[in-house]
């Protein structure tokens, strides 16, 4: 697996996004075995970065990730866990409580990366980052980041964080380049911030095109793999696709190894929404 390396952090180009693990906004225990099976498949393939959030299935996603890692027998230091605090928990005491609850559900002593999940109008981000900075100082969190932040808010987060903001997690795909157009991608690339792409294949609704099909055929790859390969061909960009299907889980993982040439990348850049 190819990696992106910052001065203080290395992450694989492809991680596992855990939205829908354990349910959507609410827990759905009928999905537990399907979810655990998917997580086991990801661990067996070699995924080491798992991205979750307290919002995902109201915490059930975190519980299942922790359980899958324990049952698999992976060492804590061999996996990288990202979680996120919800927008309505951004006050000082709420941030601390949210992190403790995430750690309890994961049954872990620390998070590798903790993100503000969404901006929230009227939030006092100085309070939010006072709590986040404390979590880092106390060893409960190793790295801080944000998600869905525009350029102005990203710069504000940098000014309030005592440690480097290591990522901004945003939607990015062949069909969604909004965070390219608003300048966030370029800023991240210029400032050693990982640009983490969620919904990189539009949640399975990838729009077919003749260009995509031609390049996929040339590489004996799927359309989804080419779409992912295009995303991670960008410097400072990593992706966190999600799938329950063990075949797709492996295909997503292997997409990082596809080498697109300059002409193919140019052609894919010209694929429009």
Going from the C-alpha of 202 to that of each of 7, 171, 213, 242, the distances in angstroms are: 31, 9, 17, 10
- Is 16 tagged catalytic? no
| Residue among 16, 47, 56, 179 flagged as catalytic | 56
Q: What is the 3-state secondary structure (H, E, C) of 123-144?
A: CCHHHHHHHHHHHHHCCCEEEE
Beta bridge partners of 178: none
Q: At what angle do helices 32-45 and 246-254 cross, to 10 degrees?
A: 30
Nearest CA to 195 out of 234, 163, 164 is that of 234
Cβ-based neighbours of 231, under 8 Å, separated by 6 or more: 172, 173, 197, 200, 237, 239
Three-state DSSP class for residue 257: helix
Which residues participate in catalysis according to the annotation? 56
């Amino acid at each position: 697996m190819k990696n992106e390396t910052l001065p203080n952090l290395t992450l694989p180009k492809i991680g596992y996004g855990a939205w829908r693990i354990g349910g959507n906004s609410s827990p759905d225990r009928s999905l537990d075995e399907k979810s655990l099976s998917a997580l086991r498949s990801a661990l067996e393939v070699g995924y080491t970065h798992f991205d979750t959030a307290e919002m995902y299935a109201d915490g059930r996603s975190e519980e299942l990730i922790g359980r899958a890692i324990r049952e698999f027998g992976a060492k804590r230091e061999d996996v990288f866990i990202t979680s996120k605090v919800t927008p309505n928990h951004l006050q000082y005491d709420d941030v601390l409580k949210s992190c403790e609850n995430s750690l309890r559900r994961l049954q872990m002593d620390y998070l590798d990366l903790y993100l503000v999940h969404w901006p929230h109008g009227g939030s006092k981000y100085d309070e939010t980052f006072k709590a986040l900075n404390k979590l880092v100082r106390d060893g409960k969190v190793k790295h801080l980041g944000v998600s869905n932040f525009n350029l102005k808010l990203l710069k504000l987060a940098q000014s309030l964080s005592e440690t480097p903001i290591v990522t901004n997690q945003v939607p990015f795909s062949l069909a969604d380049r909004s965070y390219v157009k608003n300048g966030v991608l370029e800023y991240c690339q210029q400032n050693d911030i990982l640009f983490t792409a969620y919904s990189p294949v539009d949640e399975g609704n990838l729009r077919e095109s003749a260009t995509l099909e031609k390049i996929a055929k040339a590489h004996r790859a799927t359309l989804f793999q080419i779409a992912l390969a295009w995303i991670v061909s960008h410097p400072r960009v990593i992706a966190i696709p999600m799938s329950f299907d063990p075949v797709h889980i492996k295909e997503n993982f292997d997409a990082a190894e596809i080498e697109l040439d300059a002409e193919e990348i140019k052609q894919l850049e010209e694929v429009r929404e």
